[in-house]
Structure 1
Amino acid sequence: AGSPAPASPRPGLPDDPDLLLMQAGVQMRKVRSKNWKKLRYFRLQDDGMTVWHSRQIGWRAKPSSAVSISDVETVREGHESELLRSLADEFPLEQGFTVVFHGRRSNLDLVANSAEEAQIWMRGLQVLVDVVTSMDRQERLDQPGWLSDWFQRGDKNQDGRMTFREVQRLLHLMNVEMDQEYAFQLFQAADKSQSGTLEGEEFVEFYKALTKRAEVEELFENFSADGQKLTLLEFVDFLREEQKEGDRAPDLALELIDRHEPSDSGKRRHVLSMDGFLSYLCSKDGDIFNPACRPIYQDMTQPLSHYYINSSHNTYLVGDQLCGQSSLEGYIRALKRGCRCVEVDVWDGPNGEPIVYHGHTLTSRILFQDVVATVAQYAFQTSDYPVILSLENHCSLEQQEVMAHHLTEILGEQLLSTTLDGLLPIELPSPEELRRKILLKGKKSRTLEEDLEEEEEEPEQELELEAQSELEPEPQELSPRSKDKKEKKSKPMLCPSLSALVVYLKNVPFRNFTHSREHYRFYEISSFSENKAKSLVKEAGNEFVRHNTWQLSRVYPSGLRTDSSNYNPQELWNAGCQMGPSVAMNVQTAGLEMDICDGLFRQNGGCGYVLKPDFLCDTQSSFHPERPTSPFKAQTLLIQVISGQQLPKLDNTKEGSIVDPLVKVEIIGVRPDTTRQETSYVENNGFNPYWGQTLCFRVLVPELALVRFVVEDYDWKSRNDLIGQYTLPWTCMQQGYRHIHLLSRDGTSLHPASIFVHICIQE
């Protein structure tokens, strides 16, 4: 009550009645659990790019938190949320909806006052998400709405005008400590009306002066004869000399001018202004990640064993593995971020229905049939390439029958239940051959040859006896609560109908590489503990490499990692392990290890499969991951860390605190290549720090190297000093002057935070 009528949506936004109603604000319940349901006031800001929510009600309510539309991936209806479904007796599902974020940030579950109100917010948010998705990075930066957000944060009394005192406060919010006299000069120059305050376009002018990029202007002037523009030939020279674009530079120059030059006359004359040049450098075209590596660009017709496979371990957990919550959301997140192997840990449940949870712990339970239904729905939303269900089967025969029924009935044609052509293959099929297929990895009572050769089905009892006598349990990670000794010794019976669904991924115990080579087949897969796999890399690295050229390997993390922390996957990738390092990725846990995993699988369309280097696919390979030797061509990487732009504060609650940023560059690869260097720090400037320092790395095996950029606060007292990060494969890195758009700890964009670098790779 008492709220003024909402303003019209800002220019560039659709003229949508839902957006106007969202700007008026509304109370909704924010739901975190069955016991945590709080009323909050939500309002779409006039910029159309931010939703603020507060404990207070009304137009003047001060925000306690904000949601940026650029961080939102999608909006789901109430019935798609486990949490909201569990509250169906309390709130009608049609009044609930879920805001899903990019990266690994937790979802936001909301309950509106009516189904109509929920629909208004769902439709409106999706409209805004679609608008942001269609924008280029630089377009987003140029949007008045983004500046409007800063204006509203700086305009403390909310009168639509900004005094110099409010500007000083804003500079602290923007993470910059500026000389007061210089700031006042910029303020006066922007105050065209000489009113002593900044309004509308005056604030835009002030911001442009504030964000002037001297280092980019200097680069521009080095190639521009008149300092006003780059002619077509001058821009071609820049692309050839600095960006290493070679013969494609002339055609590329025309494309880039057409895409980034803001003036129509400039486009017609094939020239690039300073604004167009900056637009190019800040866009995807000027990004450090090579755009040629973004779509699916690799050969997808090789055997599965030739690929790293993006996967997750304990997929059902969204917390720690002792007492965390088991949730379908874990499977949704994993599949939507490109995971192609998810773990299903199945146990006997009540009412004859198998359940999924981390055995012998206090983690919550979910129904196996719900997990299968979720996989069926989300398996191929991000990638068409095959999904592997890593089945940890602890069920009785009766409930195994139920499992087999759910798998066949729910997955239908998606489930691969026989070889592709009904014939015995000689090697694993390729991702291309298995498009849109779901494969089961688990225990199997017979060989694939016996399955295909047997014309008449054996009596069920005989198969059960065979399963009991031949099967050995797959190695399990140790549970913090030790299992009963009798249970450890018992060998489970295997249901024939479930066994028959395992085709190319039969679990077998690992003894040694000679035994595997002499007794195992290509479609059999062994699991290794984290520590065992690392020991094998050191003791028999070349044998491990050769083993992984023809058979898949799975590595699971130490059971001592009760907090679901991850381990560095690179050491196992170096030995060619496919599912091991990535399947052990607890995707709910942020940190260095997840950054590495995300960095590797950022390429190849994010399809979840990355082709290993040739020397990890050759059965006669001489490569040893601990002692790499020729014929590798070592390369030298020179990284000039030039400047940073609009780095966020670590603690937004402290207006007066300013970061002292520095940049660390880490090379993550084979042991001799793994190293890091860092710049000095810039004191009290997170807005536009300048370093201008060059770091040099000599790398022996670039094909296996990842490059990680980390921006930190020098303040050693801070326990959470990471400002932003970005990781990418060496082979996907572009040379020349490039922007690196930073990501947060949970993998979401920190737009417009970035660092500006110059990359040079020498043989």
Structure 2
Amino acid sequence: MAYKERFKVCFCFNRFYRFRETEPPESIRILFQQYSENDIMTIDHLHRFLIEVQGEQNASKDSAQAIFNSSHKHLKFLPRKGFNLDIFIRYLLSDDQNGPLRPLGVHHDMSAPLAHYFLYTSHNTYLTGNQISSNSSIAPIIDALKRGVKVIELDLWPNSKKDDVEVRHGGTLTRPVELIKCLRAIKDNAFSANEYPVVITFEDHLNQTLQAKVAKMVTIMFGELLYRNDAKKLEVFPSPESLKRKILISTKPPKEYLDEESSMEREDSQRQGSSDEEQTQNTYKKKLGATNKVLLDEDEDEDQIFPEYKSLISIHAGKPKGGIDDCLIDTNTVRRLSLSEQELENAVKTHGATIIRFTQRNLLRVYPKGMRLDSSNYDPMLGWTHGAQMVALNMQGHAKFLWIMQGMFRANGGCGYVKKPDFLLPAGNHMVFNPSAPPPVKKFLRVTVYMGEGWARDFRHTHFDRFSPPDFFVKVAIAGVPADEARKQTKAIEDDWLPVWDESFEFSLRVPELAVLRLEALEYDTTGVPDFGGQTCLPISELRNGIRAVPLNDKKGNQYKYVRLLVRFEMRSA
């Protein structure tokens, strides 16, 4: 494809754009001809295009006029009668007016119990890098909260002087940060993204004296922001709506720390082997248990021994002694259970339906296995498809599983709470969803990748040689239940900063409510390892039909300023 050096420069939607003189995608040219006259798309034509191609059935002529007015404001040479082909393409590539997701804001019912929602959950939130030697800091906590993360994890340990509390990853070389700094960072940023509640999970390795100190510290720091339920175990969790601008503490009641390692954990350690980190923590727990056991032997009423600390806990956590059957017993009161990714993988093989029933009332947190020292992640879909609300991922890493997490929580206005589909909630017919045997195909999704742009302008961030145009191709993948998982890709376009593919792919979806679309641009490399060119993940439940501008992000999920794809989404019922 020829690429000429002469550009037209204009201001369009508050950005510079350089118009090339190569042909646009043929499909786009044909559509423009269908919805224009004498090479001009009038407001009437644009109105019809919005309804018939973009699927915006409620679009009015005022909607079309608003688009035209916005374009005309920034383009002095725009014909007052309508769009020409170039300006039409610029409109299509404008993500502020033509983005891929429906602009619905927070639209899920937020009045149900917390157990009815997926929560945007982080693991070891305080770490800046790997799990073994990186610094602990408030910076990743602040970043997570600003991104809409709603569950923050802090590991509490005595400092070297044993008279204060610090946050670090125990049994490793990670450097600590003071707990008080973490609490202040949470208070200052908890509601920077929105007003829905923030949950802090404490992984507690403290003695009674330091627990009392933490209780005082938390109470003073959060004040009226702290949600309390008078240390009583709940029969049902409150709703996100009722907990707006509240901070909740979730941890194990103090007495349970004295008998930390259940028989299931011992069996798991024997079967899989323990990491150095886990062995160090278990040794510490045994010493801590021996110290505090004397206190409990003198007086079994823990309300008298740990009143301040216990009063903080609004979401009680714990793993009962015994096997998975004991862990999943549904009692009159609700609680939080934590399982490692390996424990979940093993449990769903024989207890999948029981896990889903458990999560209809109780909270399930899933966390990465101890051997993920590089802050890598596991597939969050296994947890979500079994109703787990708190699927905790390492926010320090970057790869497709974290991208899928970011995509899932773009739904519901990005508020950090996504209501679970009805089939994962209590039902009158007592039927339980089976992710391994999902229902028949419900939807078909057709994805057409037309073209890409912006790499030449963002080359400093995308790390491509400015003078050597890349050979881009695009991966199109579905993350979801096993039957919906699929991956396809376009051909590579050689030596072009503005590649045109014009290729279509169709996907069948059995559980579209849980599916996430992943788009990844890559540069073909003769070594076999393609270079990264941008990615995004989108919740299929909120995709807009029609031809849309899809901005791409870097590996960490930060949006590039200019890089985007032009993609058409066509969803139809089976």
Tell me, in whole angstroms, the C-alpha distance in 1 between the residues paired with 2:556 and 2:260. Answer: 39
- Indicate conservation of the 8 Å contact 1:356/1:367, yes or no: yes
| Paired residue secondary structure (1:682) | coil
Provide, for residues 251-310 of structure 1, a one-character-per-residue CA deviation record: whole Å limited to 9, x for no partner: 532333333344899999884454653343123332212222xx2111111110011101
Output the TM-score relative to the length of structure 2.
Answer: 0.85
Q: Quick check: 221-230 or 381-390, which moved more?
A: 221-230
Aligned to 1:563: 374
Tell me, in whole angstroms, the C-alpha distance in 1 between the residues paired with 2:464 and 2:90. Answer: 32
**What is the one-letter code of the residue matched to 1:288?**
P
Tell me, in whole angstroms, the C-alpha distance in 1 between the residues paired with 2:206 and 2:260. Answer: 15
Tell me, in whole angstroms, the C-alpha distance in 2 between the residues paired with 1:759 and 1:319. Answer: 37
| Paired residue secondary structure (1:258) | helix
- How far off its partner does 1:543 sit? 1.8
Paired residues in the alignment total 538
Tell me, in whole angstroms, the C-alpha distance in 2 between the residues paired with 1:479 and 1:724. Answer: 35
- How far off its partner does 1:729 sit? 0.6
- How far off its partner does 1:536 sit? 2.1
1:224 aligned onto 2:33: no
Aligned to 1:437: 246
- How far off its partner does 1:235 sit? 1.7
Provide, for residues 675-722 of structure 1, a one-character-per-residue CA deviation record: whole Å limited to 9, x for no partner: 10111111111x221111111111111111000001111114264612
- Indicate conservation of the 8 Å contact 1:646/1:752, yes or no: yes
| Paired residue secondary structure (2:280) | coil
Tell me, in whole angstroms, the C-alpha distance in 1 between the residues paired with 2:150 and 2:361. Answer: 19
Residue 485 to residue 427, structure 1, CA distance change in 2 (3 Å): closer
Tell me, in whole angstroms, the C-alpha distance in 2 between the residues paired with 1:659 and 1:480. Answer: 44
Equivalent in 558, 568, 573 of residue 758 of structure 1: 568
1:614 aligned onto 2:425: no
- How far off its partner does 1:345 sit? 0.4
Provide, for residues 553-579 of structure 1, a one-character-per-residue CA deviation record: whole Å limited to 9, x for no partner: 011111011111111111211111001
Tell me, in whole angstroms, the C-alpha distance in 2 between the residues paired with 1:438 and 1:306. Answer: 18
Tell me, in whole angstroms, the C-alpha distance in 2 between the residues paired with 1:267 and 1:646. Answer: 22
Q: Quick check: 366-375 or 318-327, which moved more?
A: 366-375
Equivalent in 543, 547, 551 of residue 733 of structure 1: 543
1:681 aligned onto 2:492: yes
Equivalent in 94, 97, 103 of residue 291 of structure 1: 103
| Paired residue secondary structure (1:550) | coil
**What is the one-letter code of the residue matched to 1:277?**
F
Residue 670 to residue 206, structure 1, CA distance change in 2 (3 Å): closer
1:693 aligned onto 2:503: yes
Mapping for residues 512-551 of structure 1, pairs under 5 Å: 515=326, 518=329, 520-551=331-362
- Indicate conservation of the 8 Å contact 2:524/2:530, yes or no: no
**What is the one-letter code of the residue matched to 2:313?**
V
Aligned to 1:660: 471
Equivalent in 596, 602, 605 of residue 404 of structure 2: 596
Tell me, in whole angstroms, the C-alpha distance in 2 between the residues paired with 1:353 and 1:379. Answer: 24
Aligned to 1:390: 201
Residue 371 to residue 571, structure 1, CA distance change in 2 (3 Å): same
Equivalent in 527, 533, 539 of residue 717 of structure 1: 527
Aligned to 1:427: 236
Tell me, in whole angstroms, the C-alpha distance in 2 between the residues paired with 1:208 and 1:268. Answer: 17
Aligned to 1:643: 451
- How far off its partner does 1:522 sit? 4.1
- How far off its partner does 1:382 sit? 1.4
**What is the one-letter code of the residue matched to 1:388?**
V
Tell me, in whole angstroms, the C-alpha distance in 1 between the residues paired with 2:543 and 2:432. Answer: 27
Residue 517 to residue 480, structure 1, CA distance change in 2 (3 Å): closer
Aligned to 1:480: 276
- How far off its partner does 1:222 sit? 2.2
Tell me, in whole angstroms, the C-alpha distance in 2 between the residues paired with 1:277 and 1:651. Answer: 27
- How far off its partner does 1:312 sit? 0.7
Aligned to 2:70: 259
Tell me, in whole angstroms, the C-alpha distance in 2 between the residues paired with 1:424 and 1:589. Answer: 35
- How far off its partner does 1:595 sit? 0.6
**What is the one-letter code of the residue matched to 2:404?**
I
- How far off its partner does 1:524 sit? 1.2
| Paired residue secondary structure (1:568) | coil
The runs of 5 or more residues in structure 2 that have no matched partner are: 10-14, 293-304
Tell me, in whole angstroms, the C-alpha distance in 2 between the residues paired with 1:441 and 1:257. Answer: 51
Q: Quick check: 558-567 or 240-249, which moved more?
A: 240-249
Provide, for residues 164-205 of structure 1, a one-character-per-residue CA deviation record: whole Å limited to 9, x for no partner: xxxxxxxxxxxxx856xx54xx48xx8xxxxxxx9xxxxx99
Output the TM-score relative to the length of structure 1.
Answer: 0.65
1:331 aligned onto 2:138: no
Aligned to 2:298: none
Aligned to 2:123: 313
**What is the one-letter code of the residue matched to 1:390?**
T
Residue 499 to residue 424, structure 1, CA distance change in 2 (3 Å): closer
Aligned to 1:573: 384
CA RMSD of aligned residues (A): 3.2
Mapping for residues 56-205 of structure 1, pairs under 5 Å: 178=2, 182-183=4-5, 186=6
Tell me, in whole angstroms, the C-alpha distance in 2 between the residues paired with 1:327 and 1:210. Answer: 50
After TM superposition, which residue ranges in structure 1, 4 or more long, deviate above 6 angstroms?
Answer: 263-270, 474-477
| Paired residue secondary structure (1:302) | coil
- Indicate conservation of the 8 Å contact 2:411/2:542, yes or no: yes
Aligned to 1:242: 53
- How far off its partner does 1:488 sit? 5.0
Provide, for residues 223-243 of structure 1, a one-character-per-residue CA deviation record: whole Å limited to 9, x for no partner: 1022123242x2222112111
Provide, for residues 74-122 of structure 1, a one-character-per-residue CA deviation record: whole Å limited to 9, x for no partner: xxxxxxxxxxxxxxxxxxxxxxxxxxxxxxxxxxxxxxxxxxxxxxxxx
| Paired residue secondary structure (2:34) | helix
Equivalent in 104, 114, 117 of residue 304 of structure 1: 114
| Paired residue secondary structure (1:371) | helix
Residue 621 to residue 254, structure 1, CA distance change in 2 (3 Å): farther
Equivalent in 138, 151, 160 of residue 341 of structure 1: 151
- Indicate conservation of the 8 Å contact 1:344/1:389, yes or no: yes
Tell me, in whole angstroms, the C-alpha distance in 2 between the residues paired with 1:342 and 1:694. Answer: 40
1:280 aligned onto 2:91: yes
Provide, for residues 141-179 of structure 1, a one-character-per-residue CA deviation record: whole Å limited to 9, x for no partner: xxxxxxxxxxxxxxxxxxxxxxxxxxxxxxxxxxxx856
- Indicate conservation of the 8 Å contact 1:725/1:743, yes or no: yes
- How far off its partner does 1:509 sit? 3.0
Provide, for residues 560-616 of structure 1, a one-character-per-residue CA deviation record: whole Å limited to 9, x for no partner: 11111111111211111001x2x2x11111111111111011122321111111111
- How far off its partner does 1:755 sit? 1.3
Tell me, in whole angstroms, the C-alpha distance in 2 between the residues paired with 1:256 and 1:613. Answer: 35
Structure with greater Cα Rg: 1
The runs of 5 or more residues in structure 1 that have no matched partner are: 1-176, 191-197, 199-203, 446-466
- How far off its partner does 1:640 sit? 1.5
Residue 436 to residue 263, structure 1, CA distance change in 2 (3 Å): closer
| Paired residue secondary structure (2:475) | strand
| Paired residue secondary structure (1:305) | helix
Q: Quick check: 692-701 or 503-512, which moved more?
A: 503-512
Bigger relative contact order, structure 1 or 2, given CA contacts below 8 A and separation 6+? 2
Aligned to 2:297: none
Tell me, in whole angstroms, the C-alpha distance in 1 between the residues paired with 2:107 and 2:258. Answer: 43
Residue 472 to residue 655, structure 1, CA distance change in 2 (3 Å): closer
Tell me, in whole angstroms, the C-alpha distance in 1 between the residues paired with 2:226 and 2:413. Answer: 24
Tell me, in whole angstroms, the C-alpha distance in 1 between the residues paired with 2:131 and 2:257. Answer: 32
- How far off its partner does 1:750 sit? 2.0
Identity of matched residues, %? 30
1:708 aligned onto 2:518: yes
Residue 677 to residue 383, structure 1, CA distance change in 2 (3 Å): same
Tell me, in whole angstroms, the C-alpha distance in 1 between the residues paired with 2:257 and 2:338. Answer: 21
